[in-house]
Amino acid sequence: MTMKNIQFIDGALNCMYAVYAVTDDEFQFLFPDKGQDVEFVEDILDRSSDKKLSEVLALVLSRRVQKPNVTGIHGTVFYQLSWKKMFYPTKRADQMVFGRVPNLKAIVKASDSLVFDVEWTDSRLLVKGLGRVYCLESPMQTIVCPI
């Protein structure tokens, strides 16, 4: 049986970014569209029942893969981070939207995670909260400075 690795990212401050092994059938259930490798739990619930999702997750969550043993991550599931959908309109990580996102401040404040103050300055995004400023100069670089 072939297994793929998927990562769960949730809205908790202490998110573990855990990786789990899934079967091809489980992967297809979580990521139903061709080429899809990003999904949001809310969207899974829109197309499936709580019971079916609970059954699949019970199996998946029993197969955690320690990060040193991970060879590739084939998909990402976001939980309590529905505001991130604007960055993944095609639900493909290789087509993620970078750059200025209109109404980001309102979206972050209305999200189901913590409230931060968001401000664009030139080409940088400043996210202020929890006594720190997170300055995203590029999608792969975050500089954290005390307020």
Of 30-34, 49-53, 136-140, which one has max mean pLDDT? 30-34
Domain that residue 124 falls in: 104-146
Distance CA 48, CA 40 (A): 12
Of 53-57, 72-76, 90-94, 99-103, which one has max mean pLDDT? 72-76
Instruction: Judge if 87 and 35 occupy the same domain.
Output: yes
Instruction: Judge if 112 and 87 occupy the same domain.
Output: no
* Predicted confidence (pLDDT) at residue 127 exceeds the cutoff of 80: no
* Domain end call among 71, 95, 119: 95
Q: pLDDT at position 61, please?
A: 92
The H or E element spanning position 114 is none
Distance CA 96, CA 122 (A): 21
Q: Which two tokens stand for residue 120?
A: 């664009």
* Predicted confidence (pLDDT) at residue 66 exceeds the cutoff of 60: yes
35/2: higher pLDDT: 35
Mean pLDDT of the chain: 77
Amino acid identity of residue 69, one-letter, is: N
Do residues 29 and 4 make contact, with C-beta atoms less than 8 angstroms apart? Answer: no
Q: pLDDT at position 16, please?
A: 87
Amino acid identity of residue 47, one-letter, is: R
> How many Cβ atoms from other residues are within 10 Å of residue 22's Cβ?
23
Q: pLDDT at position 83, please?
A: 78
